[in-house]
Each structure stands twice: as C-alpha cells, then as structure tokens.
Structure 1
Amino acid sequence: APRVPFSLRAPHADDLPGLAALCSLPGICFGTTGRPFMTPQDVAHLAAPESRAHAILALSGEVVAGLAVLTPGRGRHLHAGTVESLLVHDAYQGQGIGRALLSAVLELADCWLGLSRVALAVLADQDHAIRLYESFGFEVEGRFAADIFRGGAYADSLAMARLR
C-alpha cells in the first residue's frame, strides 16, 4: 500500500481525544501493556507542560496515527531513559510511522538529553516491534514470564535496551 503522509510534533491539549482513541484501539490494547476504554483524562499527562515525559505524536491529517513517549531517569539514572510507549494506529501499520517515531525519540535521547542508555519493554510475541528495536541497536536483556494479563491469558515480555 502507498505510504500515507504524516508529521511529527509534540501533543497539545486538543489532541487528548485522539490520543485516548489511539490508546484504546484493539490492536494497540492487545499488542501493548495498555488497557481499553482510555479517556482524555487518562492521557492528559502527555500534553501537560510540567510532565517529565517527552511525548511525540504522529499525525496523518487530523488523525493521531502514532505516539512515542520517552521518560528520562532520575537520581543515579540520569544517564538513562525509558521508551514508555511506541504506538501506531491499527489502520496505519507498515507506513514507517513507528520507525519515524523511534528515530525521533532516540535523536531526542542522544542529541538533546545526553542519555547513554535507553530501555523499553515489549511483549515477547510482537516480532515486528522486536525487529524494529533491534534495527536501532536494542538488545534483549531479559524475559519476564507471565508478565501481563491480556485477552484472558498471560503473556511474556522482554526487557530491551540500547547503550550508546
């Protein structure tokens, strides 16, 4: 399928309904540790100026097509950050949005925040996401058995990190 045009930017307060809808999509709920039926209030922290999290939206027209969230560490973890979320709308999979969001998050980590370690967790059955992370230098550091409950069963997750 031809790729759809999209742009990246920080979220605004008027994006909250679209963010909540994105986070509540069936594919995102099943493929992440998220839960369904998110409200704009549940995602309001992503657009709050005082938030420590750095959120980046992918927009295709007026549709919130993706989201990446990077949270820097505190205290003795000032050198590290965590990719809390990397989500791509169910209807926009395979369009390069996830790659663009991850690239933007890592540029923020490397060039603006000076982070030397970026970590994330991914469900062990999300092969496409794991391949994407590996293409950016992430390596599996561990496996968490029966880490989350989804769709009536337990699923394993992987701890991955990239050191610079």
Structure 2
Amino acid sequence: MTVHIRRSEPQDAKAVKAIYECTNAYRGTLQLPCPSLASWESRLSNVPENVFSYVALLDDEIVGNLGLEICTNARRRHVASFGMGVKDHYQSKGVGTALLSQVIDLADNWLNLKRLELTVFTDNEKAIGLYMKHDFIIEGESHAYAFRDGEHASVYHMARIKSELKTQVNS
C-alpha cells in the first residue's frame, strides 16, 4: 500500500477527528479524548499562515495527520515544531514516515528552516525510533510535563538541525 500525503482541507475535519479519537493518538499527543467535530472544523478552516497541516491517506482513507508550526518570533523564524497522530490500526505501516518525510522536505527545500523540534512522551518508543531514524536527537527531558492517564508523564525534547546533518555526513 502506498501512503499519499496532501494538505488538509476543511472537509477533512471529521476524518482528522477520527484519528484523535484513537487511544494511541490522544494518549501519545496533548489532545484530549473525545475531540469535538466543531473544534476540528474550526482548526482546519482557519489555518494560520505560519501553520502547515497535512493528512496521510491509504486507499482514500485519511489515517494520519501532521501539523507544522513555524515560530513567529523574529529571532526564531528558522524554527518549526510539529505534532502528529496516526490511527491506531495504521501504526507501523509507514504513515508516520511518509508524513515526516513530507515535512522534512518542506522544511529543508522550501521553507529554509534550520531547526525542527518536537516533544514526545518518554514511553513512546515507536515514535522516538521514527524520529531518530530521521536524524532527530534527544536534547533534554521534562519531568511531569503533561497529565495523562491519571498521572504526570515526562517528555523528551527532540530536534533535527539541518546544518549539523551536513557536518555529520562530511565528517
């Protein structure tokens, strides 16, 4: 199966909502269970200029979502952060890889971004492995970062810095 990536559209709200209704998607992100359709309709209808939202499709079904936000602070316009979710039954099928590859291409070749950063729960081994496969490194850890499943959970701060990649390759 080939994963197709495209920009999200307002009419994708119901399908994106379905992604974040999945246990792994809301548990592994800062989303809450039972998202409202109205909130997703609003988010996908009013995407700010500094935000890029993508969906991943398998056999014409939307199974993944990624949002990239470029920092608006003048001194951090070379930086973007992102978050993503994949439907539970489609994890480990290349959906996250396809979404991440799309965003890395956009960052490196079209937006002139130097740094991509994210937070990931320390127990999300699959996601950490995916990010490391794409040259992200763990820069630090925040303990009790977010409340999840009735307790506080820690996250890693990870980043991919474009110039360091070229230095590593040439070394």
Q: Is contact 2:25-2:85 (8 Å) kept?
A: yes
Letter in 1 for 2:80: G
Q: Secondary structure at the match of 1:32?
A: coil
Corresponding residue of 2:18? 21
C-alpha distance in 2, partners of 1:161/1:28? 21
> Number of residue pairs matched?
160
Q: Is contact 1:17-1:39 (8 Å) kept?
A: no
Q: Is contact 1:30-1:150 (8 Å) kept?
A: yes
Shift of 1:42: 1.7
Q: Is contact 1:54-1:71 (8 Å) kept?
A: yes
Shift of 1:5: 3.6
Deviations 1:39-70 (A, max 9, x none): 22222323435442101100123422001111
For normalisation by structure 1, the TM-score amounts to: 0.91
In structure 1, which of residues 8, 12, 15 is the aligned counterpart of residue 9 of structure 2? 12
Corresponding residue of 2:134? 136
C-alpha distance in 2, partners of 1:98/1:120? 14
**Pair 1:49–1:131, CA change in 2 (3 A):** closer
Letter in 2 for 1:119: E
C-alpha distance in 1, partners of 2:23/2:47? 29
Q: Secondary structure at the match of 1:95?
A: coil
C-alpha distance in 2, partners of 1:96/1:13? 25
Q: Is contact 1:99-1:132 (8 Å) kept?
A: yes
Q: How does 1:106-145 map to 2 (within 5 A)?
A: 106-145=104-143
Q: Is contact 1:46-1:53 (8 Å) kept?
A: no
For normalisation by structure 2, the TM-score amounts to: 0.88
Deviations 1:130-159 (A, max 9, x none): 111111111111101011111111110011
In structure 1, which of residues 29, 34, 44 is the aligned counterpart of residue 31 of structure 2? 34
Q: Is contact 1:54-1:69 (8 Å) kept?
A: yes
C-alpha distance in 2, partners of 1:60/1:13? 19
In structure 2, which of residues 82, 98, 101 is the aligned counterpart of residue 100 of structure 1? 98
Shift of 1:33: 1.7
Q: Secondary structure at the match of 1:148?
A: strand
Q: Provide structure 1 residue ranges, at least 5 long, that are not aligned to the other structure.
A: none
C-alpha distance in 1, partners of 2:93/2:119? 22
Corresponding residue of 1:76? 75
Letter in 2 for 1:147: Y
Shift of 1:23: 1.3
Q: Is contact 1:45-1:51 (8 Å) kept?
A: no
Corresponding residue of 2:168? none
Deviates more, 1:129-138 or 1:39-48: 39-48
Corresponding residue of 1:156? 154
